[in-house]
Every structure is written in C-alpha cells, then in structure tokens.
Structure 1
Amino acid sequence: MKKLSLLLSTLALCGATQASDLTVYTYDSFNSEWGPGPKIEKAFEATCDCDMEFVAVDDGVSILNRLKIEGEKSKADIILGIDDALIEVARETDLIAEHGQTLEGLNEELKWDDKQFVPFDYGYFSFVYDSTKVEKPVTSLKELVESDAKVLYQDPRTSTPGQGLMLWMKSVYGDKADEAWKQMASHTVTVTKGWWEAYSMFLKGESDYVLSYNTSPAYHVINEEKTQYKAALFSEGHVAQVEVAAMLKSSKNQELAKQFLGFLTSEEAQKILPVSNSMLPVRAGVELPEIFGQLIKPERIGFTPKEVAENRKEWIKEWRTSAAK
C-alpha cells in the first residue's frame, strides 16, 4: 500500500500554505495498473495542485466493512466503489457527508438525486463466457442454476458483484432462493472474496461462466482485440449496479473532496472510466467506442436500496446456510 507525499498549495487570499492530501478508499481492480485509478489520479492532480492516495481493498463491500470498523477515525476523505444497493447501509453509519454537487448532465435513466452519494459509472451484473468454448450459452438464471456448467462468483459479504448475485437470486426465486443456492453449489468451482480473483480464474479456463458485468466484453475488445468473451442475456432480467462515491464527515479536506466528487462526473473523467473500468458512463452524451453499442441491453430487475438494507443480513444468512458445500 503506497503512501504519497504531501504537496503544499498556496492560499492566495492570506498568503499562508496548508498541506493538501486526499485519501480515497477504493477496490483493488479500480486502482490496478490497467484500471482507471492511475489515470483518474493523474488527471485530477493536474487540476487541483494536490496529492492523492488510493487505498485499495478487495471489493466494494470490503470498503464499507473497513469504514464500519474505523468509524470517525478513518483516514479516508472519500469512499469510492460501493454501489447503490449499499447506500442505505452506508448512510446508517452516520459517517457520510453531503456532497454539495449539482449533478448536472447525468443520464436521465439514472434519475439520480441523492444528496450524499455521487454516481460515477454503472452496468448490469452478468455471467460472462468464452464463446470459443461455450457454443450454446444459457439464456436464463434458472437455466444456469439447473445446468452442470462450472461457475465462479464472489462472496456477497465482501463483494458488490457477489451481493448483486444474491439480489438476482432473490428477485428470480423469492422464497425458493435457498433451493437455488444449493443447486448451484453443486457446480460452483469456488466463491472468491473479490471480483478480480474470480475473473482471473475464469481467464485461466477454470470455469465456464464467471459473474461479472454486461460491459466486461468491451474490455477485451478495446485492450486485447479479443472478441470471444460474451455476456449471457437472461430472460428474467438483470440486476443493475450504479457505483458511487461519497465524502466522509471526518474528512479534514472537505473542499478538496467536493472538488474530486465533482470531477468524477466531469466529461474528462467520464471518458476515462468506461474504457478503463469497463462500465457505462453516468454522464449523458459521452462518446464511447463502437463495442459499447454491441453489448447486451438487459431488462432491469432488483430491489430498492431501502429493501436491501432491511433484508441484507437475512439474505446473507440464507446464502451462507444454503451455498456452503
């Protein structure tokens, strides 16, 4: 975990100087060398005359878990990478400040008006497969559950995709979700802590399907010129994920934090995020590579953040009891 040095910025009004340091908790793939973190950091630092530090953990749920443990003593100014399904759970900590952003120019499809959480990208949870190995992909979640296809997915206690699958199962199966978990456990290769671990195993050929996003195939086309990776379109619909960032009340650099939150929805940042984080932009009118027009366009299903907050513990308990091998 790196620690970046502090830079001094001149305060023109009083001639004094103060250290500017922005610490952002995020997930590991966001801050990987191929992820958007380094590019976002470079672009923002060019506008703020400040120094940023990304602190990475396994996945989005892990960010929230760490925040709960640290509380008001957290070193973070901003958390980046939890999703809309977790915003009410995060709000309940009473650690999140209002962002103070106008949120102008966002995609109207999102209908976003939250005063504490700023969206920065979105996509749909999907099962990705290699079309050179899977000739006839499954067309529904029920078909996947009832198949013998080898599956990789992530732990809903530590991973936002894993939690997304939990919501997907409940949306499709309702009170019979426990039976579906048991059935899928019979052909699940393993359940990983975070997204990257599962996806890496899939790329090594260790499963037929991996839980990821409808936008994942775009990464392979843009960065590797590989077209065999596809996302299966499910007839029941897909659970969407809107990734968000928020400022902590305990931040000692709130003006800088607000500046960064505003930057995340700027045209400059929104051009970086889709191609490096393989998600859709939240800002309307962002020009995207051609491959984005070829991605599956699922019907959205799922639960409200409030419903997730009210039922999450019970649903996780159900998963733990039913999916254990």
Structure 2
Amino acid sequence: MSKKLFFLTALSAFSTNVFAAQTVNVYTEEFFGSDWGPGGEVKAAFEKHYPQCEIHYTVFNESSTLLNRIRLEKNKLKADVVLGLENSQFEAAEKTGLFTETGVDLSKLDLPEKWQNPLFVPYEFGQFSFIYDKTKLSNPPKSLRELVERQDLKVIYQDPRTSSMGRGFVVWMNSVFNADQITQAWQTLAKHTLTVGKGWTETYGAFLKGEGDLVFSHSTSPIYHLLKEQKDQYAATQFAEGALYQYEAVAKVAGKQNACADNFIQFIFTPEAQKIITPKNVMLSSISAEIEPHFDALKASQKGSKTLDSRDASDANIKNWISTWQAALAQ
C-alpha cells in the first residue's frame, strides 16, 4: 500500500470515527413514539439542530409496560432517557435508583403546582375530566359525587390495573371519597358503568361509537375534535370538588455519559418541541410560551381552578386503592 493510500485510508477511518453521530436511546410509550405521535417530528427537529446526535426510540404500548421494562433491565438499562412515565409511577421509578437529575431549570416550568422533583420533569400535563356530547347530554354532572350517584348516566372509564388513566381515576375517587365511603361509591358507580376498558384508546373509541354518556379522559379532548374534525359538540366536565392532573415526564438515566442525551432533554422544553408535542398528544404545555391558541386558552382558564390534594397517592396507597376497587366490584 502506498503511503498516500495508507494516509487516505487512515484519514477516512478517523473521520468516520470523529463524525459518527452519538446515539440517544429513548424509552417511551406509544402516545409519544408511535407513527402518529410527536416523536418522529421531535427527532427530526432535534437532529437538525444537533447533527452530531441521533435519536433512537424504543416504544412500549403503555407507561406501565415501560416501567416494567425499566425494573426488568435494572442496572443493564439500555436507555439514556425515559420519556412518558406519569406521576402515579414516579415513586416506583425512583425506588429503582436508576435515575439522576435531568438538569432542567424547574423555575421555568409553568404548571398548576410548583414543581420540585428534579428526577421526573413534566413535558406535558392534562387535567382529568369526563368527556360528553352536548347534543346528547344536556345536563352533565357538576361534581364527581353527582356522577357516581346518577343512575341515568352510562359511564366509561379505564382499568387501573392496565391503564395510567385508570390509575388516575382511582386517585381522583380516593381524593374525593373518604376511606369509609369509597367501597360504597365504587359499588354505586358500578351499577351504571357501561365499560371498564383496558386502555384509553379502547374506551374513547367506544364512546365515539355512541356507547355511553361520558368517558374518562383529559379536558383537552374536545380541542382535538374541534381542530382535527371541525366538531364542536364535545365538552369536558368541570367538577365542584376540584381538579386532578396527570403529568408525563422526562427522566435521565444515571451513569450515562451522553452529551446528546442532555441536549435532547433540554430540547424537549423548548417552544419548538412543545409546538410539536402539544397538539399531537392533545395535552397542555409545561412551559410558559405561546404554543397553540386553543391549548393556551384552556391552560389559562384552568389556572384558577381548585386543585385536589393528591399527596396521599403513594405507590403503596394506589395499590391498596386498586385492591379496594377490585373487591368492591366483585361484591
């Protein structure tokens, strides 16, 4: 081999090594990483800003499946970033000891409450609500207690054993009903519950087919119908007891020296990324910026809402509450 050819071959190998993109392995759930989610557009936008970085998603069908994979892999966790765990899972995820602080400036967040957890930082949030069709239901319930009591309403919600939404509903019920009331409340609700579905997609689809009067979802759902379908007949309940929120977060896996992962986490909280995520996921932005007029207006209107205290929603309590739900429905 000539000296010139040897030099060019060595230079080529050196260049390939230097300029090869650094991969960021992101574990996420389908609402973010699927073909119809915001993940693809976020990846493209991020890689345009950081051409030395490459995002690779591993997508799980539900956040509970995502959490189970994290527990299974333990210290061999392949992810650099985990995106999509929600607040009822933070305690269990933290107990794994696999996460470190994200580096996100928490003071820049714009949320219904002051955020203090540096390990799990919300990139979006939504207020729990029941969705109904105004053309079919003219007198929606004005409180959760009324929803439970009214036998004329056919209700759909998600199974808390398989759905993060279902767990959210269990937390909401236990935030409103005392321990000595909750079993009776579940039994009363069961008398006019049409479906307890495996997940949100299944239950919301049943509602849109005309099954049931109200379905458990987020207060943002009517915006989807308005913007995507030009339908304005859907509305979200506002209950007198107060609001409860679901937060979906970004988390950084400890022990990974990956500058691109740090850049990706910071990018998620930019207006550019949030303008992709908010309308795609039909949730509210976690930062203070103009994202989309309909979502911005809803977020502003909810700022004065009464918020329920969910501090009792520990991992152990949620498991006990689900057991109580199961026992009540079995009676």
**TM-score, length basis structure 1:** 0.87
Larger-Rg structure: 2
| 1:155 partner amino acid | D
**C-alpha displacement of 1:73:** 2.7
Q: Distance in 2 between matches of 1:121 and 1:315?
A: 26
String of CA shifts for 1:234-289, please: whole Å, max 9, x gaps.
Answer: 111121112111022265x6322221111111111122222111111111132422
* 1:55 counterpart (42, 54, 58): 58
**C-alpha displacement of 1:119:** 1.4
Q: Distance in 2 between matches of 1:32 and 1:324?
A: 36
Q: Distance in 1 between matches of 2:158 and 2:250?
A: 22
Q: Distance in 1 between matches of 2:43 and 2:140?
A: 39
Unpaired runs of 5+ residues, structure 1, are 1-9
String of CA shifts for 1:119-161, please: whole Å, max 9, x gaps.
Answer: 1011211111111221211111111111232222112233221
Q: Distance in 2 between matches of 1:246 and 1:294?
A: 27
Q: Match of 1:81, SS?
A: strand
* 1:92 counterpart (95, 116, 123): 95
The answer on whether the counterparts of 2:131 and 2:217 sit within 8 Å (CA) in structure 1 is: yes
Q: Distance in 1 between matches of 2:212 and 2:27?
A: 31
* 1:101 counterpart (82, 95, 104): 104
Summarize the Cα distance change of 1:108–1:37 in structure 2 as closer, same or farther, 3 Å threshold.
Answer: closer
1:104-123 equivalent positions in 2, closer than 5 A: 105-107=108-110, 109-123=112-126
The answer on whether the counterparts of 2:92 and 2:315 sit within 8 Å (CA) in structure 1 is: yes
Unpaired runs of 5+ residues, structure 2, are 1-11
Q: Distance in 1 between matches of 2:295 and 2:316?
A: 38
1:301-320 equivalent positions in 2, closer than 5 A: 301-304=308-311, 307-320=313-326
* 1:156 counterpart (156, 160, 172): 160
**C-alpha displacement of 1:108:** 6.2
Q: Match of 1:230, SS?
A: strand
* 1:293 counterpart (293, 297, 306): 297
**TM-score, length basis structure 2:** 0.85
The answer on whether the counterparts of 2:183 and 2:324 sit within 8 Å (CA) in structure 1 is: yes
The answer on whether the counterparts of 2:26 and 2:57 sit within 8 Å (CA) in structure 1 is: yes
The answer on whether the counterparts of 1:80 and 1:244 sit within 8 Å (CA) in structure 2 is: yes
List structure 1 segments (4+ residues) > 6 angstroms apart after TM superposition: 12-15
1:258 paired to 2:265: no
**C-alpha displacement of 1:294:** 5.2
How many residues of Structure 1 are paired with residues of Structure 2 in the alignment? 313
The answer on whether the counterparts of 1:24 and 1:52 sit within 8 Å (CA) in structure 2 is: yes
* 2:45 counterpart (36, 43, 48): 43
RMSD (Å) for aligned C-alpha atoms: 2.6
1:47-196 equivalent positions in 2, closer than 5 A: 47-49=49-51, 50-103=53-106, 105-107=108-110, 109-148=112-151, 149-175=153-179, 176-196=181-201
The answer on whether the counterparts of 1:73 and 1:250 sit within 8 Å (CA) in structure 2 is: no
1:200 paired to 2:205: yes
* 2:279 counterpart (260, 264, 275): 275
